[in-house]
Amino acid sequence: MRILISGFGTVGQGFADVLLKRSDLFRERYGREVSIVCVMDSTTYIADQTGLRLGDLLERKKVTGKVGNDKYSDSTEVIDSVDYDLMVEVSPTDIKTGGVGLKNIRHALGSGKDVITVNKGPLALNFCELVALAKKNGCKFRFEGSVGGAMPIINLCRENLVGERISSIRGILNGTCNFILSKMDNGQPFEQALKEAQQMGYAETDPTNDVEGYDSACKVVILANSIFGRNVRFSDVNITGITSISSEAISLAASQNMVIRLIGEVSEDRLEVSPRLISKGHPLSIGGTLNAAQIVTDLAGPITVSGRGAGRIETASAILSDLVSIMDDRKERGGKCQKK
């Protein structure tokens, strides 16, 4: 399995770290390690068909800010110059145009290569086109980490729960908003809670994308298209953020033994992000930066998952789970066949 990594920021470097940590997994399960044959960041690239040394790349990126010595102008020219089997696309999310991520994913799938991404832009804007392209070319296209980071949700619904009819998914899909709302539960006003989130590194200087619900809306779109087979886009979501939630509303909720949480909801006919009242003790009443999602099924009833929605290693772990799943599907299995 020869891998091309497109994007070497937080998640790309986290994925390199995870591969270094898990070399034993690949040796035991498949009889060999995976080989990284090319890594691109926003302006440079480095390629070696015999396999790059990830430790060296991480060190160089840390010291120089760049992964390679060679600059490129057109990413697809770099991609075409490499023999690879699978692209890990983790360039920055561009929710307006899909950005270079969309371009690179299209190019890889169009060339018959498997793709794993956590890039919400291409998924929220061009999901159905990309899935159709993957199908047409016999490629695997996976994106577990795009919703809820390390929280297992997409593969859980599509594999473990394949016998269920899923009527809706409701979830806390943005850890920053949940951190702010949890702080407000403890009496802090919104502005102060936001400031603390920024100081902790959970919220960006411009927090619009999180607090206005746009990030949650992207995830709602990905769930709608991937789990419910819908064909919707970001602009189809009814979005209300958390900026107008007052301390009085939080107190009133608490007096009824409830909390307010920003909930993304998707079903056959619903596509919404809005603050909702949740009873204390309900699986979606959790506090802190966690993400959580409740999957409502006809046989199993409601199933809830929660986990860390962000973080370099956490998000990379979702990419790892997609990679193992694809390698199993591709019957790369050999070695000691450790699968229990």
| Pairing mode of beta strands 35-40, 238-239 | unpaired
CB of 217 vs its own copies, minimal distance in Å: 22
State the Cα–Cα distance between residues 304 and 338, nearest whole angstrom: 29
In angstroms, what is the minimal distance from the CB of 79 to its own copies?
26
Residue 188, SS3? Answer: coil
221: nearest Cα among 158, 270, 181, 156: 270
Q: Say which of 21, 135, 219, 280 is annotated catalytic.
A: 219
Name the nearest CA neighbour of 94 among 61, 127, 123.
123
Q: Which two tokens stand for residue 291?
A: 């993400």
Encode 250-269: b = buried (16+ Cβ within 10 Å), e = exposed: beebeeeebbbbbbbbbbee
Whose Cβ is closer to its own copies: residue 92's or residue 283's?
A: 283
DSSP state of 253: H
Spell out the alpha helix ranges (H) of the chain.
10-21, 23-30, 54-64, 75-80, 99-110, 120-136, 154-155, 175-185, 190-199, 208-211, 214-227, 247-255, 312-329
- Our CB check for its own copies shows the closer of 249 and 313 to be 313
Is 21 a residue of the active site? no
List contacts with its own copies (CB under 8 A). 18, 21-22, 25, 29, 150-152, 155-156, 158-164, 182, 185, 226, 229, 280-283, 285-288, 290, 292, 297, 299-308, 311, 313-314, 316-318, 320-321, 323-324, 339-340
Distance of CA 151 to the CA centre of its chain: 9
Q: What is the distance between the alpha carbons of residues 77 and 269, in angstroms, rounded to a whole number?
A: 42
C-alpha dihedral over 239, 242, 247, 253, to 10 degrees? 50
Q: Which is nearer to its own copies, 24 or 77 (CB)?
A: 24
Q: Is the CB of 96 or the CB of 339 nearer to its own copies?
A: 339
Question: Is the CB of 240 or the CB of 297 nearer to its own copies?
Answer: 297
Q: How far apart are CA 1 and CA 114, in angstroms?
A: 10
Contact, 149 vs 322, CB < 8 A? Answer: no
Q: Which is nearer to its own copies, 69 or 279 (CB)?
A: 279
Q: What is the DSSP letter of 92?
A: P
Catalytic residues: 219
